[in-house]
Structures are given as structure tokens and as C-alpha cells.
């Protein structure tokens, strides 16, 4: 099982089309593109995510990638 820090680090390299879920409210979505990069320029700080309600900006630490069967 991944720790939060490891999960957040893994979330900094997500590609467009990746299915994600908000840890805030369980809302599903798909990555559209990186919104902002980290100060170091390596990895994403936030993403534009397409949800059933439209496009939203989610921080990398506020989402997780569900396991695929």
C-alpha cells in the first residue's frame, strides 16, 4: 500500500486521459492536462480534470488513481 507522500509523488506525472477520483468528495474525472507545474519545473502541482459537471482544477495531492482490474 502506498503512503500519502508516495501517492502524491506518483500523481505528479499523470498523463491526459488518466481516470482519477477526488479524495475530497469521491467525484470521478479524467486528466485533461497539467494546469500548473511545481516550482522546480519537475512534475505537476495541479491538473485540469474533466468531470460530469465540466472542467475543474484539482491539486495533485487531492486525487488518486483507482486500481484497474
pTM over 0.85: no
Helix/strand/coil for 31: strand
Determine the CATH number of domain 4-64: 2.30.30.140
CA angle 27, 1, 17 (to 5 degrees): 40
Domain boundaries, the chain: 4-64
**Which letter, b or e, does each residue of 18-34 get, where b requires 16 or more Cβ atoms within 10 Å of its Cβ?**
bebbbeeeebebebbeb
For the segment 16-28, what is each residue's pLDDT rounded down to a tens digit?
999 999 999 999 9
Which position has the grid cell 505537476? 44
For the segment 39-54, what is each residue's pLDDT rounded down to a tens digit?
887 889 999 999 999 9
Tell me how far apart the alpha carbons of residues 33 and 12 are, in angstroms, rounded to a whole number. 12
Q: Which stretches of the chain are DSSP H helices? A: 4-10
Amino acid at each position: 500500500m502506498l503512503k500519502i507522500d508516495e501517492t502524491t509523488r506518483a500523481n505528479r506525472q499523470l498523463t491526459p486521459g488518466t481516470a482519477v477520483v477526488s479524495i475530497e468528495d469521491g467525484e470521478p474525472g479524467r486528466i485533461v492536462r497539467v494546469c500548473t507545474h511545481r516550482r522546480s519545473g519537475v512534475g505537476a502541482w495541479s491538473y485540469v480534470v474533466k468531470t460530469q459537471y465540466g472542467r475543474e482544477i484539482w491539486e495533485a495531492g487531492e486525487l488518486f488513481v483507482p486500481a484497474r482490474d
